[in-house]
A and B are shown apart, each in its own frame.
Chain A
Amino acid sequence: MMANSGTLALAAWLLPALSFLVLAVVYPLRRLGRPAAWFSIVCAAGAFASAVLAWRGVGGSEDQVRLLWPWLPSAGKSIADVGVAVDATSSIMLCLVSLVALLVQFYSVGYLHDEPAGALGRYYAYQSLFAFSMMGLALAPNLLQLFMCWELVGLCSYLLIGYWYQRESAARAAVKAFWITKAGDVGLLVGIVMLWQLTGTFDLAELRSLAGTNAIPAAGLSIVTFCIYLGAMGKSAQFPFHVWLPDAMEGPTPVSALIHAATMVTAGVYLLVRTAWLFALTPDVLLVVAWIGAFTALLAAVLACVQDDIKRVLAYSTVSQLGYMMTAIGAGVATAGFLHLLTHGLFKALLFLGAGSVIHAVGSNDLPNMGGLARRMPQTATVFIVGTLSLAGIPFFGGYLSKEEILGAVWGAHLTGPFVLLMLVAGLTTFYMFRVVFLAFFGTPSPVARVTHAHAAHAPAGHAHDVGRVLSDPPAGATSARAAHAALHNEAVVEGAHVNETPRAHEPPVTMLLPLWVLALMTMTVGVMSTLKLGGFAAEPVEEGAPGWLTPAAVGVALAGILLAWATYQARAINPATLAGAFGPIRAAALRKFWIDDVFEGIYGVVLLGFSRIVGWVDRYLVDGVLNVLSDWTLQAGDELRGIQTGKPQDYVYGVGAGVLVLILLMRLVF
């Protein structure tokens, strides 16, 4: 059974690769679009089934099943292997990745229903490549394979953010994500190579046994772990590298759910979980991890409160939750971080897919354009609220146990500062999430939403999502565009009462609803089982350092957040403007994203462009100058010498004769 797990995991890993290769090579199939999608989905389903079987095979045992082939052979043994290493951690990660990949691919059939067939084929090819790379990352037996897959998922993220590459903002966001994660990846590569220098191996199991026997030299190890952490910072959007993730929302919503919420961005956390024993040797770096994690969580939560774009709220929420996981790892309890990674993967995918279904129906990302959707889309509203409660950490919902564990771990590690920050974040999280819920699903329907959707529905070739994007992109442009729309469809706004009767915003097709319900039920199951300590959760170790008041306090903070959001956006007891005014400067700063993007732009504009200007000057005037002078000389010499060539045959005969004479003279006189 154990050995079987290796084969099954290998099958799970290679099935998406097969799908990608087929879609990439067989051009006619890719061009067909929908059949290509179903092919990819069938492969993903197979991968999920194998992954679950592999996970069941491993059970809870600590052993690792390894299936390796030598990759870089050298004298003696190979420098690096390629293959799969299946243990409890990697197999459950494999299950999460394949499950979310499968559901997202299934969901995309409905979400991208009016995409051109060729583009749809391309989309599914990327999706398969992503699933393959992410599973390879999860199963990596050594750091080298992990790094390769790490880069591949970054590439897929780039390709899928830029899926609508005709749109300039999407192309820019893709490049931004690529560059910023790449900056971290350089750190990761340096860290891996330095670790190899210290120990002479890439293999994670060997490294772990070395770490267990204290055979890794402690000198310089802090730099190594910090470099590895840099890679994780870039991928998992830790401050100050978090700026790419909100922009990554330019991609299609299912992509955001899969890559930028559930799996790829958690790769950094996963890396730190896989190398937790290494980080345990460097407590100073762990402290940095914890503080940056907690700070990121707070920063992102504050930013999420002022966003009007539903996807951006979720994106900042993802950054915030990643900060949570990182703090847990920094506190030295990687298992708590990993548990939160898994539950977060489920409920954040659910939230994103729910948001996608809302965007699909309304045709806009903007919260002011929504409202009262619960009546039109009761199923979407239900699953979205389930996801929100899970994120809030309410008992019997998915995120409850993992959040408590993290808070307990951080308290137990005597990190009071990060603990306070995380408690604050817990309140903010529920506040901004319920702000979304109340604004989007309750309250009065926005007239703009109806107009927008009506407009999208009436334009035969009109792309509902594109229309929404146009409205939501630049804040100034949005208001004017909205006004223009309102003016164009004046009648529709005036006879709003009638429009209210006709259900324009409607439930999505079953391909989109099914994944939502699957995720919601799984989130609920995990929540109920973890709250009641049923099944596998019975074995979950109770956090030693967690005091008894922790659970009531955390839940109380969460409920306070809900109450505040309800009072502000539902009961209207507090005027939102008054609330915003109370946080005047912070709100103003948050609207400018705390100037972090501006700092990056400044660094780019002054340092990088200044440096490239100097390099450009040297190239243009020094390097090119020397070559230009040489070529000018050559040209001039040619001009001078061309007079010799008269073109008259007899002159050449004279030349030949003179040459012969000179030769004869030379032979006579010299030799």
Chain B
Amino acid sequence: MGLQPYLLLSATVFCIGLFGVMTRRNTIGILLGIELMMNAVNINLVAFARYTAVASGMVFTVFTICITVTEAALGLAIVILLFRVRRTVMADHLDLLKG
């Protein structure tokens, strides 16, 4: 199999993630969307590593997964704290930075 199907898959997953981030009102949904986008990136990295036979892409993926995990943990923690303070996690209600 060539590179193209992997890239197509990756692009699809990325777009789904982006769509989720853009449309979801729930903060947890947005987080999920971000996770999907990260995974699309991972697929890309692995696909290119395999295609060019350079191992560094794989190593990079391992790092990315770790970072994704911590990011998810942090994000969820923030969401919980937000909920405690504001009693809501709906993104369109969280507009403290409104100019």
Give the total of B residues in contact with A, Cβ under 8 Å. 13
B18 within 8 A of A: yes
A654 within 8 A of B: yes
Contacts of A657 in B (CB 8 A): 18, 22
Pair B99/A648 contact, Cβ less than 8 Å: no
Q: Which 4 pairs of residues, A with B, have the shortest CB-CB distance?
A: A645-B99, A647-B98, A647-B95, A642-B99
Interface residue from B22, B92, B95 paired with A653 (Cβ < 8 Å): B22
Q: Jot down 27 A-B pairs with beta carbons below 8 A, ordered by A.
A: A642-B99, A643-B99, A645-B97, A645-B99, A646-B95, A646-B98, A646-B99, A647-B94, A647-B96, A647-B98, A647-B99, A648-B91, A648-B92, A648-B94, A648-B95, A648-B98, A649-B30, A649-B91, A649-B94, A650-B21, A650-B22, A650-B30, A650-B91, A650-B92, A653-B21, A654-B22, A657-B22
Find the B residue at minimum CB distance from A645. B99
Interface residues of B in 17-37 (CB under 8 A from A): 18, 21-23, 30
Contacts of B94 in A (CB 8 A): 647-649
Instruction: Give a binary string over B20-58; 1 marks a CB under 8 Å from any A CB, 0 the rest.
Output: 011100000010000000000000000000000000000
Find the B residue at minimum CB distance from A644. B99
Contacts from B to A (Cβ < 8 Å): 18, 21-23, 30, 91-92, 94-99
Contacts of A654 in B (CB 8 A): 22
Q: How far is the CA of A177 from the CA of B38 in the complex (A)?
A: 81
Contacts of A647 in B (CB 8 A): 94-99
B93 shortest CB reach to chain A, Å: 9
Q: How far is the CA of A544 from the CA of B18 in the complex (A)?
A: 114
Contacts of A643 in B (CB 8 A): 99
Contacts from A to B (Cβ < 8 Å): 642-650, 653-654, 657
- Name the residue among B18, B21, B99 with the largest chain A CB count within 10 angstroms: B99
Find the B residue at minimum CB distance from A641. B99
Contacts of B23 in A (CB 8 A): 650
Contacts of A649 in B (CB 8 A): 30, 91, 94
Find the A residue at minimum CB distance from B96. A647
Q: How far is the CA of A649 from the CA of B30 in the complex (A)?
A: 10
B96 shortest CB reach to chain A, Å: 6
Contacts of B99 in A (CB 8 A): 642-647
Q: How far is the CA of A645 from the CA of B99 in the complex (A)?
A: 5
Known: A650-B92, A653-B21, A657-B18; 8 extra A-B contacts, CB below 8 A, are A643-B99, A645-B98, A646-B98, A647-B94, A648-B91, A648-B92, A650-B22, A654-B22
- Name the residue among B18, B95, B96 with the largest chain A CB count within 10 angstroms: B95
Find the A residue at minimum CB distance from B99. A645
B57 shortest CB reach to chain A, Å: 23
Find the B residue at minimum CB distance from A649. B91
Find the A residue at minimum CB distance from B27. A649
Q: How far is the CA of A644 from the CA of B23 in the complex (A)?
A: 19
Q: How far is the CA of A643 from the CA of B99 in the complex (A)?
A: 6
Q: How far is the CA of A589 from the CA of B84 in the complex (A)?
A: 89
Contacts of A650 in B (CB 8 A): 21-23, 30, 91-92
Q: How far is the CA of A467 from the CA of B23 in the complex (A)?
A: 88
Contacts of B30 in A (CB 8 A): 649-650
B9 shortest CB reach to chain A, Å: 21
Q: How far is the CA of A108 from the CA of B51 in the complex (A)?
A: 101
Contacts of B22 in A (CB 8 A): 650, 653-654, 657
A628 shortest CB reach to chain B, Å: 24
Q: How far is the CA of A646 from the CA of B95 in the complex (A)?
A: 7
Q: How far is the CA of A321 from the CA of B18 in the complex (A)?
A: 99
Contacts of A646 in B (CB 8 A): 95, 98-99
Find the A residue at minimum CB distance from B98. A647
Q: How far is the CA of A382 from the CA of B94 in the complex (A)?
A: 96
Q: How far is the CA of A75 from the CA of B18 in the complex (A)?
A: 76
Q: How far is the CA of A161 from the CA of B98 in the complex (A)?
A: 63
Contacts of B96 in A (CB 8 A): 647
Q: How far is the CA of A645 from the CA of B94 in the complex (A)?
A: 13
Contacts of A653 in B (CB 8 A): 21-22
Find the A residue at minimum CB distance from B33. A653
Contacts of A648 in B (CB 8 A): 91-92, 94-95, 98
Contacts of B98 in A (CB 8 A): 645-648
Q: How far is the CA of A645 from the CA of B18 in the complex (A)?
A: 21
Find the B residue at minimum CB distance from A643. B99
B86 shortest CB reach to chain A, Å: 13
B71 shortest CB reach to chain A, Å: 15
Contacts of A645 in B (CB 8 A): 97-99
- Name the residue among B94, B96, B98 with the largest chain A CB count within 10 angstroms: B98
Q: How far is the CA of A650 from the CA of B92 in the complex (A)?
A: 8
- Name the residue among B18, B21, B96 with the largest chain A CB count within 10 angstroms: B21
A635 shortest CB reach to chain B, Å: 14
